């Protein structure tokens, strides 16, 4: 049963990586243009996250489109 442990470790690692990347990007935005651009940078990062989520989550119809259906049993 190592798969659940690995999944939790990868999830926590991705969360920490995102927090670190957000800190680096936020610091770079503040250093380059001041505090007025942090909202716009946050909005762009949120849209990028939504786009990645859209690509990562499979569509409902795509999984069943190529599936072979068996005839219903008469009984």
pLDDT(4) > 90: no
2 has pLDDT over 90:
no
Q: Which two tokens stand for residue 49?
A: 């996250």
Residue 70's pLDDT is what?
A: 61
Token representation of residue 38:
């942090």
| pLDDT tens readout for residues 20-69 | 998 998 899 999 988 888 888 889 989 998 998 899 888 887 555 555 55
> Quick one: pLDDT band at residue 73, thresholds 50, 70, 90?
low
């Amino acid at each position: 049963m190592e798969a659940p442990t690995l999944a939790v470790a990868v999830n926590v690692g991705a969360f920490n990586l995102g927090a670190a990347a957000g800190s680096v990007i936020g610091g770079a935005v503040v250093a380059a243009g001041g505090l007025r651009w942090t909202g716009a940078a946050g909005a762009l990062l949120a849209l990028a996250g939504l786009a990645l989520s859209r690509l990562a989550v499979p569509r409902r119809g795509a999984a069943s489109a190529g599936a072979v259906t068996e005839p219903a049993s008469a009984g």
